[in-house]
Amino acid sequence: MIRLFIKNIKKDPFTLLFTKELYSLKYLKKNDKIIIAVSGGLDSIALLFLLHHLNRYKLIVAHIDHSIREDSVKDRIFVEGICAELNIQFFSKKLEINSRPKIQSIEEWARQQRYEYFKNLCHETKSRWVMTGHHCNDHTETILMNLSRKTGVIGLAGIPKKNGKIIRPLLSFTKKEVCDFVTRVGLPFIEDSTNFDISIPRNFIRRKVVKPWELKVPHLIKAIYKSSQYFEEWKLSLDQLLRNFIINHLKISDKKIEIPLSLISSLPNLGKSRLFQLLFEKDKTLWSKHDLEMLEHFINKGSTGKTFNLINSWLLLYNRGKIIAFRNRSINLKRRVSIEPNKSIYFNNSEYKIITNKIFHNNTCSKNEELVDWSKLKNKKLKIRIWDSGDIFQPLGMKNKKKISDFLVNEKINIVAKKSQSVLTVDGEVAWVCGLRISEWVKITENTKEKALLKYNPL
C-alpha cells in the first residue's frame, strides 16, 4: 500500500508545487536533519509523505500525545506504524494534562509543551530544523485569533514561515489544496474528534467564521495571506531599524539589560512596545493588548524606583534616566552560608572566597576585592547572608555606625540590587557589605600581621 502512495505522490501536480516551494527556502541544505511534527492528521501526514518522497533530507518524526482524548494512544500507534513502514526514526512524548496551570488555556499550554519538546529533541538528536504542517488556513485563523486577543498591528502578520529552527513549508498552500492532494493520492490519516468542538476558540473561528466567509469569498484565504505578507514586511523593516539604531547600542547580558530613556523617548508608543518585544522575544512570543498597554504606561509614566513584572523571568526597573531589566531570580532571605578560608562558596548566584595563603599588597583594584586584617576574622564564625533591615555597620573611613539600609540609599543602589545585597558577618557582626564597603574595624593597619583577601564574584 505504501508503494502505491509513493507512486501516486510522484505524479501528483501538488508534489511539484511543494518541491518548488521547498527549494525556494535557501537556508535548507541537502542532507539536513529535520524533525517532522506528525500528529497523524491530514496536514502532517501530507508533509511527512512529501518530504519522504523527495529523499533529500534526513528525517525524524516526533509525535505528541496531548492526553486530551481517551483514545489518543491510537494516534501514536498509527504514526509509529507509518514510520516503521517508511523506515523513519520515531519519537513520542505523552503530556500530563493535569500539570496545566488553571489560568492557561489548553491550546496555549499544549503549544508551549510541544515546542519545548521539539527544542529539546533538536538538541538530543542534533537536528537542524523542525517542520510543522501549518497551512494557509491556520495562518488566517491565527490572525483572527490575534485580533480577538487585541495583540495590535504586529498580530496581523500571522504565523511566520520560519521562526528560529521552526519551518512551515505548507504555509502558502490552502487547506483545500492539501486536502485535494491527500484525496487524490489516497493517504491514510486520523481525524481528531476535538476538531469539531466549537467551544475551543480556534475551532469556532474555523467552522463558524472562516468556513462560511470562504463560501462567499472563494479567494479569501489567499487574499488574507497576501495582505499579511505586507504586514510582515512592515514588521521586518521596523525590527531592523530598532535593532540597528537602538538594540545594538544597549548594554545587554544574560541577566541585565540597560535601556537609556534618552535613546527611546522620541519613539512613538508602537516603536517602544516593539523594542521590548524584540528584546524579550525568547521568553515571550504572544503579547495581548493588555500586556502592551501596561508596558506603555510603565515606560511613559514611570518614575525612579518603580518596577514592572514584564514576564515571569524579567523585572523592569525605572532608575535615574534608565529602564533596567533584571532577570528574576529567587532569593532565600533566611539562608545563611558558612565560609571557610581558601574555599569558594556559592550563594544567590555569586561566588565568595576568603584567601589567606598568599602574600598581598596593601591595595586592590576592584570593589569586589577587599584586603582585611585576618586576625579580626580568624577562628570565628564567618557567614554570608542577605542583609537585614536591622543591620548596622561602621563603613570604612567613617567615625559612626550606619544602618545598611541608609548606606545602600547613599550608594544609589537600585531597589532590585538591594533585595539581593549580601553581607559577610563575623560572629554575627557585619564585616563587609559585599562588593561595596568593608567595616572600619577589619581594615588593614600598621599593626596588622596577617592579611586576608575577600573576593566576591557575581556569576
pLDDT, greater one: 266 or 415: 266
Split at pLDDT 50, 70, 90, the class of 310 is confident
pLDDT band (50, 70, 90) for residue 304: confident
Reported as half-sphere exposure (CB side, CA atoms, 13 A), residue 390 has a value of 2
Please write the tens of the pLDDT for every residue from 346-356: 888 789 999 99
318: CATH = 3.30.465
Give residue 415's pLDDT.
80
The per-residue pLDDT for 308 is 86
Q: If you average pLDDT over residues 318-337, what whole number do you get?
A: 78
Q: Which residue has the higher pLDDT, 434 or 307?
A: 434
Rounded to 5°, angle at Cα 306 from 303 and 311: 130
User: Which of 327, 362, 395 is the last residue in one of the domains?
Assistant: 327
Q: Cβ distance 427 to 415 under 8 Å?
A: no
pLDDT score at 332: 61
| Axis-axis angle for helices 220-245, 136-148 (nearest 10) | 70
The more confidently predicted of residues 156 and 68 is 156
Percent of the chain with pLDDT over 70: 95
pLDDT of residue 103: 67
- Are residues 346 and 321 both part of a single domain? no
125 with 225, same domain?
yes
Task: Answer yes or no: do 268 and 207 share one domain.
Answer: no
Which range has the worst mean pLDDT, 14-23, 255-264, 313-322, 355-364? 355-364
**98 — pLDDT class (breaks 50, 70, 90):** confident
Count Cβ atoms within 10 A of the Cβ of residue 420 and give its class: 0-12 exposed, 13-18 middle, 19 or more buried: middle
Same domain, 412 and 295: no
CATH number of the domain enclosing 28? 3.40.50.620
pLDDT at position 105 is 72
- Distance from C-alpha of 40 to C-alpha of 18, rounded to nearest angstrom: 20
- Report if residue 242 sits inside a domain: no
Residue-averaged pLDDT of the chain: 89
Q: Is residue 92 part of a domain?
A: yes
Phi-psi label, residue 224: left if phi above 0, alpha if psi -120 to 50, beta otherwise: alpha
* CB burial readout 133-145, b (16+ within 10 A) else e: bbbbbbbbbbbbb
**Closest to 418 measured CA to CA, from 299, 317, 313, 311:** 317
Q: Is the pLDDT of residue 333 over 60?
A: no
Query: Does residue 103 share a domain with residue 11?
Result: yes
Closest to 277 (Cα-Cα) out of 245, 244, 247, 317: 247
Greater confidence, 95 or 14? Answer: 14
Instruction: Say whether both 204 and 60 belong to one domain.
Output: yes
pTM for the model stands at 0.66
Q: What is the pLDDT of residue 363?
A: 66
End position of a domain, from candidates 307, 327, 347: 327
Q: Are residues 261 and 187 in the same domain?
A: no
User: What mean pLDDT is predicted for residues 10-15?
Assistant: 93
The rounded distance, in Å, linking the Cα atoms of 89 and 103 is 36
Residue 392 belongs to some domain of the structure: yes
- pLDDT of 330 > 70? The answer is no
SS3 (DSSP) at 451: strand
- pLDDT tens profile 166-185: 999 999 999 999 999 999 99
pLDDT in tens, 269-294: 889 999 999 999 887 776 777 788 88
pLDDT at 22 > cutoff 80: yes
Average pLDDT rounded to a whole number, residues 108-118: 85
- Taking each helix axis from N to C terminus, what angle separates 175-185 and 13-23, rounded to the nearest 10 degrees? 130
Q: Say what the pLDDT of residue 331 is.
A: 60
Q: What is the distance between the alpha carbons of residues 392 and 420, in angstroms, rounded to a whole number?
A: 17
- Are 379 and 434 within one domain? yes
Which residue in 231, 327, 248 sits closest to 280, CA to CA? Answer: 327
In a domain, 244, yes or no: no
Q: What are phi and psi of 333, to 5 degrees?
A: -70, -20
Q: In this structure, are 36 and 154 located in the same domain?
A: yes
Structural domain includes residue 225: yes
Comparing CA positions, the residue from 202, 97, 225 lying closest to residue 149 is 202
Answer yes or no: do 208 and 290 share one domain: no
Q: What is the pLDDT of residue 358?
A: 81
- Whether residue 114 sits in one domain with residue 67: yes
**What per-residue confidence (pLDDT) applies to 108?**
76
* Domain-located, residue 117: yes
Supply φ then ψ for residue 446, to 5 degrees: -65, -15
Task: Give residue 168's domain range.
Answer: 2-230
Three-class SS state of 394: coil
Within this chain, do residues 171 and 296 fall inside the same structural domain, yes or no?
no
- Domain termination residue (choose one: 181, 197, 230): 230
Q: Are 167 and 28 in contact (CB under 8 A)?
A: yes
Q: What is the structure's pLDDT at 382? A: 96
Residue 175 within a domain: yes
Q: In sequence order, which residues have a C-beta less than 8 Å from that of residue 301 and are 6 or more positions away?
A: none
Could you read off the pLDDT of 337-379 as tens digits, one per residue? 999 999 999 888 789 999 997 877 666 667 789 999 999 999 9
- State the pLDDT at residue 291: 81
Rg, the chain, Cα only:
30
Would the pLDDT of 405 be above 70? yes
What does the pLDDT read at residue 262?
A: 92
- Asked whether the predicted pLDDT for residue 425 surpasses 70, the reply is yes
Distance CA(101)–CA(199), nearest Å, equals 19
CATH number of the structural domain spanning residue 430: 3.50.40.10
- pLDDT at res. 287: 75
* Residue 439: inside a domain: yes
Average of per-residue pLDDT across 86-93: 95
Count the domains in the chain: 3
